[in-house]
Structure 1
Amino acid sequence: MRVTVLVTVLVLVLGLGGVLLWQHSYDLNEQSVTINHGGHLLHGVLATPTTGTRHGLVVHLHGDGPVDATHEGGYRPIWEANAKAGYATLSWHKPGVANAPGNWLDQSMTDRAEEAVAAIAWARARPDIDGDRIGLWGASQAGWVLPKVVARTPVRFVLAVSPAINWLQQGRFHLLAGNPTEAQLTRSDTTRRLLATQASFDDYTRAMGGETHGMTPDRWRFITKNHTADATPDLPALRGVPVLLTLAGHDRNVDTADTERGYRTALAEGGALQVKHYPDAAHSLVKDTIERSDLKLTLTALFAPRALFATGFLDDQQQFLRDLG
């Protein structure tokens, strides 16, 4: 009896292990790359299709936070969709993440754009990349970076995923979406007044009665540097460029109506804008029902990572790239 139980357990373990390996086996090739950007090194990953010798390229621009090149593996289903459309993908660790040099909290949105421009120049010099078919994929905070990149170097397309328009308005929307207390609203108002005067972190700490509420000196410096970000004056750079704007039905981070209005207004003349809405999606384009449950999120990420994303999201991005050729 004991032997039978042990054998059954072993079979289950081996079976689950096989499922994990199969689900996390993607139809693409990955290689580590290093890009020189003005004396600074970007450490990243180039993921290429398994067939063909010369490919278009999707350059990934991250949202907020200490994100590594693969977003802890979460990007790979997107990369696979790109590869099926004949496109490679380039992504890199944010400075200070995964042993990459630097500190991403030292960066402005302009710094991040210049970083991307350097990465595109590096890619155009490669014989396996078609320099005329290089475009951008950017999520959330990257919404302030995408048009800055396009203003600096030609790109074939832009995939904008849950981008925001105005930093302060986006922050307020996110706060209100969480049903804040009066104390939280007061802290937000105080923070905005401090930012307007370029106050120091010590000023912030004093104004908060000695409580930092999770704020750090690095994060305060980052916010001080970027809180005036507004994509509105930069968005016209996208005119004439095919843009796929992806918006989530359960976005609690970004006011999607404001974003759509901003893109449509800026690109009304000479624009090639497509807008896709995903009613079942959260801000990250993961299904909202999955994102709200830690258990569902963990199990889906382990056993069905492609199923994390909103219905149609991967297929639509793949089709967008196929239509570009």
Structure 2
Amino acid sequence: MSVPPLSSTPAASTDPDHASDEKPLGLAGSLWLRADGETLAGAARIALLAAIGETGSITAAAKAVGLSYKAAWEAVDAMNNLAGVALVVRSTGGKGGGGTTLTPRAERLIETYRGLEHEHRKFIERASAAIDDFAGDWAMIGRIGMKTSARNQLYGTVESITRGAVNDEVVLKLPGGQQIVAVVTHESVEGLGLAVGKPAFALVKASWIMLAVDDSKGATPLRISARNRLPGSVKHVTQGAVNSEVSLELDSATTAGTASPAVMTAIITNESVSALRLSEGTPAIAVFKASSVILGTTD
């Protein structure tokens, strides 16, 4: 018995921050019988066997299940070969001019399949009922399974889109309330189907992120041309021969909900780590240009 991947119907998130008008996602599956690693029969072939048993004619059975005569016999030959025993036999001559019949083994196979199919259907129904917010969970599974070379992968919701002469400015709100600004082309916005309220993710390479420390204590705000300036505190520093990997846990902009603080990783020189006196718990700011942000969707 094999269960294929879940239905690919687009998910409609139940998260109010990610509401959409997409169709709801449902759990589905199909049942196959296999022999020696090869598919012996699925619903279509079992239906063909049952039709042969009911009609006693390959021509009538093929018509009943929507197959050509040739395709039906090819399916029968494949099942006979894979089963290793005869499932369908064809007789010629005689008063009735011959016919096509099922062997007792085939009749038992049909009964077995129908019993398994009944149990499989009940399993799917129980599984669907047991999973709360299935659509939201399935969408999250898709996101966490994404693979990309960009170290920083941040999920959020499009908060605003500002049209420009050539490019558009897209503001993505993260679950913790932080905002990331991206500048992308009109074609990218349209091609990704970006719209306010739609889920999306931002990719930022670790080498594109600069770290800054504001020692002014608010007297002289940090002034820099980069649009994205996300404050946080150093989570850990991993030093290499030349460069260090610094992970920064971003400050949450909201206390509502249970969103985990976003973490951004930067690759900077060991000299910069020393000059900025970065260590675990040190307040710092992740700085990167809006043009360094790549946006994507899972649709």
TMscore range, shorter length: under 0.3
Larger Rg: 2
TM-score normalised by length of structure 2: 0.25
Higher relative contact order (CA 8 A, sep 6+): 1
TM-score normalised by length of structure 1: 0.24
Higher strand share: 2
Higher helix share: 1
